[in-house]
Chain A
Amino acid sequence: QVQLVESGGGVVQPGRSLRLSCAASGFTFRSYGLHWVRQSPGKGLEWVAVVSYDGDHKYYADSVKGRFTISRDDSKKTLYLQLNSLRVEDTAVYYCTRVVVPGVIWDAFDMWGQGTMVTVSS
Protein backbone atom coordinates (compact mmCIF):
# COMPACT_ATOMS: atom_id res chain seq x y z
CA GLN A 1 0.00 0.00 0.00
CA VAL A 2 1.36 3.40 -1.02
CA GLN A 3 1.33 5.59 2.06
CA LEU A 4 3.05 7.94 4.48
CA VAL A 5 2.46 7.58 8.20
CA GLU A 6 3.60 10.24 10.66
CA SER A 7 4.28 9.78 14.35
CA GLY A 8 5.98 11.52 17.23
CA GLY A 9 3.62 14.40 17.92
CA GLY A 10 2.50 15.35 21.40
CA VAL A 11 2.28 18.08 24.00
CA VAL A 12 5.53 19.82 24.88
CA GLN A 13 6.53 22.92 26.81
CA PRO A 14 8.00 25.97 25.09
CA GLY A 15 11.73 25.66 24.57
CA ARG A 16 11.67 21.86 24.50
CA SER A 17 12.31 19.46 21.62
CA LEU A 18 10.43 16.81 19.69
CA ARG A 19 11.24 14.51 16.78
CA LEU A 20 8.65 13.63 14.19
CA SER A 21 8.91 10.57 11.98
CA CYS A 22 7.25 9.70 8.70
CA ALA A 23 7.33 6.07 7.58
CA ALA A 24 6.86 5.43 3.87
CA SER A 25 5.72 2.33 2.07
CA GLY A 26 4.66 1.22 -1.39
CA PHE A 27 7.04 3.34 -3.48
CA THR A 28 10.76 3.82 -4.16
CA PHE A 29 11.49 6.08 -1.20
CA ARG A 30 15.05 7.00 -2.22
CA SER A 31 13.83 8.49 -5.51
CA TYR A 32 11.64 11.24 -4.11
CA GLY A 33 12.04 14.66 -2.59
CA LEU A 34 10.08 14.93 0.65
CA HIS A 35 8.60 17.89 2.47
CA TRP A 36 7.01 18.80 5.77
CA VAL A 37 3.94 21.06 5.75
CA ARG A 38 2.08 22.23 8.84
CA GLN A 39 -1.38 23.56 9.60
CA SER A 40 -2.19 25.49 12.75
CA PRO A 41 -5.63 24.79 14.26
CA GLY A 42 -8.31 26.34 12.09
CA LYS A 43 -5.71 27.94 9.83
CA GLY A 44 -4.22 27.44 6.40
CA LEU A 45 -1.22 25.48 5.20
CA GLU A 46 2.41 26.48 5.76
CA TRP A 47 5.39 24.86 4.09
CA VAL A 48 8.11 23.96 6.62
CA ALA A 49 11.05 22.13 5.04
CA VAL A 50 12.27 19.93 2.20
CA VAL A 51 15.00 17.34 1.68
CA SER A 52 16.06 16.27 -1.79
CA TYR A 53 15.85 12.66 -2.97
CA ASP A 54 19.58 12.20 -2.34
CA GLY A 55 19.62 14.06 0.97
CA ASP A 56 22.15 16.59 -0.32
CA HIS A 57 19.83 19.58 -0.34
CA LYS A 58 17.74 20.86 2.53
CA TYR A 59 15.74 24.06 2.75
CA TYR A 60 13.62 25.61 5.49
CA ALA A 61 10.95 28.22 5.95
CA ASP A 62 12.28 31.35 7.63
CA SER A 63 9.95 30.73 10.58
CA VAL A 64 11.76 27.50 11.50
CA LYS A 65 15.27 28.04 10.16
CA GLY A 66 17.89 27.31 12.80
CA ARG A 67 15.41 25.47 15.02
CA PHE A 68 14.12 22.57 12.89
CA THR A 69 16.18 19.96 11.06
CA ILE A 70 14.91 17.70 8.30
CA SER A 71 16.61 14.39 7.55
CA ARG A 72 15.96 11.04 5.92
CA ASP A 73 17.04 7.44 6.36
CA ASP A 74 16.58 5.60 3.10
CA SER A 75 17.43 2.23 4.69
CA LYS A 76 14.42 2.66 6.98
CA LYS A 77 12.28 4.49 4.41
CA THR A 78 11.70 7.15 7.01
CA LEU A 79 11.66 10.96 6.97
CA TYR A 80 12.34 12.94 10.14
CA LEU A 81 11.82 16.43 11.46
CA GLN A 82 13.71 17.45 14.58
CA LEU A 83 11.95 20.33 16.30
CA ASN A 84 14.08 22.29 18.78
CA SER A 85 13.42 25.46 20.77
CA LEU A 86 9.72 25.02 20.25
CA ARG A 87 7.40 28.02 20.46
CA VAL A 88 3.68 28.32 21.08
CA GLU A 89 3.25 29.37 17.45
CA ASP A 90 4.69 26.01 16.30
CA THR A 91 1.47 24.35 17.46
CA ALA A 92 0.05 22.62 14.40
CA VAL A 93 -0.67 19.40 12.61
CA TYR A 94 2.51 18.38 10.79
CA TYR A 95 2.18 16.52 7.49
CA CYS A 96 4.89 14.79 5.52
CA THR A 97 4.42 14.94 1.79
CA ARG A 98 5.91 13.54 -1.41
CA VAL A 99 6.46 15.39 -4.66
CA VAL A 100 4.81 14.27 -7.88
CA VAL A 101 7.93 13.68 -9.95
CA PRO A 102 10.85 11.53 -8.79
CA GLY A 103 14.21 13.24 -8.72
CA VAL A 104 12.97 16.79 -8.29
CA ILE A 105 12.66 18.90 -5.18
CA TRP A 106 10.20 21.61 -6.12
CA ASP A 107 6.90 20.21 -7.25
CA ALA A 108 3.32 19.73 -6.13
CA PHE A 109 2.56 17.21 -3.39
CA ASP A 110 0.73 14.11 -4.58
CA MET A 111 0.92 12.12 -1.38
CA TRP A 112 0.27 13.25 2.19
CA GLY A 113 0.40 11.48 5.51
CA GLN A 114 -2.48 11.66 7.95
CA GLY A 115 -0.64 14.23 10.05
CA THR A 116 0.65 14.32 13.61
CA MET A 117 -0.38 16.99 16.11
CA VAL A 118 2.23 19.04 17.95
CA THR A 119 1.00 21.21 20.81
CA VAL A 120 3.39 23.64 22.44
CA SER A 121 2.01 24.88 25.72
CA SER A 122 3.17 25.66 29.23
Chain B
Amino acid sequence: EIVMTQSPATLSLSPGERATLSCRASQSVSTNLAWYQQKPGLAPRLLIYGASIRATGIPARFSGSGSGTEFTLTISSLQSEDFAIYYCQQFNKWPMYTFGQGTKLEIK
Protein backbone atom coordinates (compact mmCIF):
# COMPACT_ATOMS: atom_id res chain seq x y z
CA GLU B 1 0.00 0.00 0.00
CA ILE B 2 1.24 3.49 -0.84
CA VAL B 3 1.16 5.72 2.22
CA MET B 4 0.47 9.40 1.65
CA THR B 5 1.84 11.73 4.33
CA GLN B 6 0.71 15.35 4.47
CA SER B 7 2.42 18.17 6.31
CA PRO B 8 1.86 20.15 8.32
CA ALA B 9 -1.18 18.70 10.09
CA THR B 10 -2.39 22.22 10.82
CA LEU B 11 -1.38 25.47 9.14
CA SER B 12 -2.35 28.79 10.69
CA LEU B 13 -2.24 31.74 8.31
CA SER B 14 -3.95 35.07 7.72
CA PRO B 15 -6.00 36.12 4.69
CA GLY B 16 -3.75 37.41 1.94
CA GLU B 17 -0.84 35.18 2.92
CA ARG B 18 0.61 32.39 0.81
CA ALA B 19 -0.09 28.79 1.83
CA THR B 20 2.16 25.87 0.99
CA LEU B 21 0.89 22.37 1.72
CA SER B 22 3.00 19.26 1.23
CA CYS B 23 2.20 15.67 0.38
CA ARG B 24 4.73 12.85 0.28
CA ALA B 25 4.16 9.37 -1.16
CA SER B 26 5.94 6.31 0.21
CA GLN B 27 6.77 5.31 -3.37
CA SER B 28 6.53 7.00 -6.72
CA VAL B 29 3.05 7.82 -8.00
CA SER B 30 4.32 9.66 -11.09
CA THR B 31 1.87 12.58 -11.51
CA ASN B 32 -1.18 10.55 -10.56
CA LEU B 33 -1.94 12.83 -7.65
CA ALA B 34 -5.01 14.89 -6.80
CA TRP B 35 -5.82 17.56 -4.21
CA TYR B 36 -9.23 18.06 -2.62
CA GLN B 37 -10.70 20.73 -0.39
CA GLN B 38 -13.30 19.84 2.22
CA LYS B 39 -15.36 22.19 4.34
CA PRO B 40 -17.34 21.07 7.42
CA GLY B 41 -20.45 19.09 6.56
CA LEU B 42 -19.71 19.09 2.82
CA ALA B 43 -18.28 16.62 0.35
CA PRO B 44 -14.70 17.09 -0.83
CA ARG B 45 -14.16 19.22 -3.93
CA LEU B 46 -11.53 18.45 -6.54
CA LEU B 47 -8.95 21.23 -6.89
CA ILE B 48 -6.03 19.72 -8.75
CA TYR B 49 -5.48 16.48 -10.65
CA GLY B 50 -2.55 15.11 -12.60
CA ALA B 51 -0.46 16.86 -9.91
CA SER B 52 -0.77 20.27 -11.58
CA ILE B 53 -3.99 20.54 -13.60
CA ARG B 54 -6.63 22.80 -12.11
CA ALA B 55 -10.10 21.31 -12.12
CA THR B 56 -12.96 23.14 -13.80
CA GLY B 57 -13.92 26.33 -12.00
CA ILE B 58 -10.99 26.36 -9.59
CA PRO B 59 -9.46 29.82 -9.12
CA ALA B 60 -5.97 30.49 -10.45
CA ARG B 61 -4.64 31.16 -6.93
CA PHE B 62 -4.59 27.37 -6.47
CA SER B 63 -1.64 25.60 -8.05
CA GLY B 64 -0.09 22.16 -7.75
CA SER B 65 3.39 20.91 -8.47
CA GLY B 66 5.59 17.88 -8.06
CA SER B 67 6.05 14.37 -9.37
CA GLY B 68 7.24 11.04 -8.08
CA THR B 69 7.02 11.23 -4.30
CA GLU B 70 6.95 14.96 -3.44
CA PHE B 71 3.99 17.23 -4.15
CA THR B 72 2.94 20.72 -3.20
CA LEU B 73 -0.34 22.60 -3.20
CA THR B 74 0.10 26.36 -3.16
CA ILE B 75 -2.57 28.96 -2.53
CA SER B 76 -1.03 32.24 -3.61
CA SER B 77 -3.15 34.66 -1.59
CA LEU B 78 -5.57 33.20 0.93
CA GLN B 79 -9.20 34.19 0.78
CA SER B 80 -11.60 33.67 3.68
CA GLU B 81 -13.31 30.82 1.83
CA ASP B 82 -10.03 28.88 1.52
CA PHE B 83 -9.86 27.90 5.18
CA ALA B 84 -10.72 24.22 5.15
CA ILE B 85 -9.13 20.77 5.22
CA TYR B 86 -7.05 19.70 2.24
CA TYR B 87 -6.40 16.09 1.20
CA CYS B 88 -4.03 14.62 -1.34
CA GLN B 89 -4.82 11.35 -3.08
CA GLN B 90 -2.80 9.01 -5.25
CA PHE B 91 -4.39 7.07 -8.09
CA ASN B 92 -1.26 5.51 -9.49
CA LYS B 93 -1.26 2.18 -7.73
CA TRP B 94 -4.65 0.66 -8.16
CA PRO B 95 -6.86 -0.98 -7.06
CA MET B 96 -5.74 0.77 -3.92
CA TYR B 97 -6.42 4.46 -3.95
CA THR B 98 -5.01 6.13 -0.86
CA PHE B 99 -5.58 9.53 0.67
CA GLY B 100 -3.36 11.58 2.93
CA GLN B 101 -4.56 12.28 6.46
CA GLY B 102 -5.30 15.92 5.63
CA THR B 103 -3.95 19.38 6.41
CA LYS B 104 -6.24 21.74 8.27
CA LEU B 105 -5.79 25.31 7.07
CA GLU B 106 -7.04 27.62 9.78
CA ILE B 107 -7.28 31.38 10.23
CA LYS B 108 -4.51 32.83 12.37
Find out whether the CB atom of B94 lies under 8 angstroms from the CB atom of A59. Answer: yes
Question: Do A106 and B99 contact each other (CB < 8 Å), given the known contacts A100-B49, A112-B45?
Answer: no
Judge if A78 is at the interface, Cβ distance under 8 Å.
no
Interface extent on B, as a size class? 20 to 34
Among A22-30, A43-51, A82-90, the stretch that binds chain B is A43-51
Smallest CB–CB gap between B37 and chain A, Å?
Answer: 11
Q: Which residues of chain B (39-80) have a CB below 8 Å from chain A?
A: 42-46, 49-50, 55-56
Q: Does A110 contact B (CB under 8 A)?
A: yes
Q: Assign chain A's interface to a size class.
A: 20 to 34
Identify the closest chain A residue to B99 (Cβ).
A45
Secondary structure class of chain B's binding surface, majority of residues:
loop
CB-CB under 8 A for A108 and B99, given A59-B94, A100-B49: no
Cβ A47 vs Cβ B99 within 8 A: yes
Q: Which A residues fall within an 8 A CB radius of B?
A: 35, 44-47, 50, 59-62, 95, 100, 105-110, 112-115
Complex interface: chain A residues within 8 A of B98 (CB): 47
Q: Check A44 against B102 for contact (C-beta < 8 Å).
A: yes
Known interface pairs A107-B49, A108-B46, A112-B45; A44-B91 also in contact (CB < 8 Å)? no
Note all chain B residues with C-beta closer than 8 A to A61: 96
Tell whether, in the assembled complex, residue A45 and residue B95 are in contact, meaning their CB atoms are under 8 Å apart. Answer: no
Interface residues of B in 17-57 (CB under 8 A from A): 32, 34, 36, 42-46, 49-50, 55-56
Cα distance A54–B33 in the bound complex, in angstroms: 25
